[in-house]
Structure 1
Amino acid sequence: MRTPTMNIPVSKCLDLASHACRMFSKFPQNTVLASLTTRLEGAASALAAAQDTYEVAIKDILPSRVDVKYENYVSDRRIRLCQQKAEMADGKRGGHIASLVYPEGSATIVRLVGASQVQAMRDLEGRLAAAEAFWTEAKSEKADIEKLRASYQAALDGRQAAGQKARDLRAARDAAKEQFLTTYAEVMSRVGAEFPRDKVMQELFFDEVRTKSAVEAADQGGEGEGGEGGEEEAKPT
């Protein structure tokens, strides 16, 4: 019998618990096995709940990534439009308004992504404020850039929060997994004490740790261990 470790997938941990508990139920007259079922089911339920919560948090990262990508897109378009308006106000490229507002052009801003672009947009707002004295549209342009920059920052904050939540919940899941593994090892030890020197009985209650879980088998197009189309595990010789 092998004791599972932290590198065993959660789905396999849950399969191990289900296997043991179902086999325990085959001996209803044994009160020790009944108590072990309660312990193992409790640890498995806590692990499953922690895993489910973590998986939801992982899925929630995707929308936040989409939000950041969209805000980057609309900000880039608006930054380029602002440059075009400045050039139109000058009546030519490289005029004094565009040179003040975009001393290095818009490309140096829009090639940035994330926090660096947000900072560049803040700097752009400052230059637009300085241009208000001689460009009538500078104030409204600044307001539009500022609004987009705030939306961009909010999207970045949302992505950061989603990522942090997932990391926190992964830590909680790992703690639940550690507790499950401790409980499973204690259950194995107690079964060994209940059936001393009876290797056949000891091994009866515990599945092989290194076989694929039902979830893994299904993901790979199989039907699980012992299912139709699957391979039976070879018996020891």
Structure 2
Amino acid sequence: DGKNIVPMVPSQDHKRAYDNDLGANTGGMGAYAPAPIITQELQDEIAETILQPTIDAMRASGAEYKGILYAGIMLCNSKPKVLEFNARFGDPETQAVLPLMQSDLPDAIDACIDGNLRNAEIKFSSGAACCVVLASGGYPEAHEKGKIIYGLEAAQKIPDAAVFHAGTKFNAEKEIATNGGRVLGVTGFGSGIKNAIDSAYSAVSKISFEGMHFRKDIGYKALAK
């Protein structure tokens, strides 16, 4: 809200195109939340040494910032280092974070606008979520478009799962087709990360389109913890 910060649930992205972190960098092939690698102690350190000083410096420079601040952070020798800041939610991190939010997002945004974030009630569940990105053939290089997407209704019937559209469109026949590199984000939820992963991939198994590819190891780093 310009002065105060409230960290959301930490989420871990998967940047590389293929399993085992192989292939080219992408906009993100999946994410899970919470990220066990970020302990409460480390989250407090990030808030105190990176996030709060950033907000304070912006205000001191006359550029007070209110809203969502995405911090892309990498651990180097167990120390947090900033890769980037974005004045928006992360993609696909958001598809794993917001399903865990128990309080209302619009209320939190209003509190940011009003400068009253300190008194806002912002709650997250103790569960987990895993988002798997379904990408077009060729992504992250030149990729195909206009491929009809099958199985969306079946995927949406999977318990504890949701399908988020990204690079999609209606074609001339009013069929849902691909229209970008990252086409869909399929998120599973559960009491723990394994349940969330299972739900996500159960929904993924119902969806198909020509050239579709996705990583099969989203969330497995969390299982190793």
Q: TM-score, normalised by structure 2?
A: 0.22
Structure with larger RCO (C-alpha < 8 A, sep 6+): 1
Could you say which structure has the higher helix fraction?
1
Larger Rg, first or second structure (1 or 2): 1
Q: TM-score, normalised by structure 1?
A: 0.21
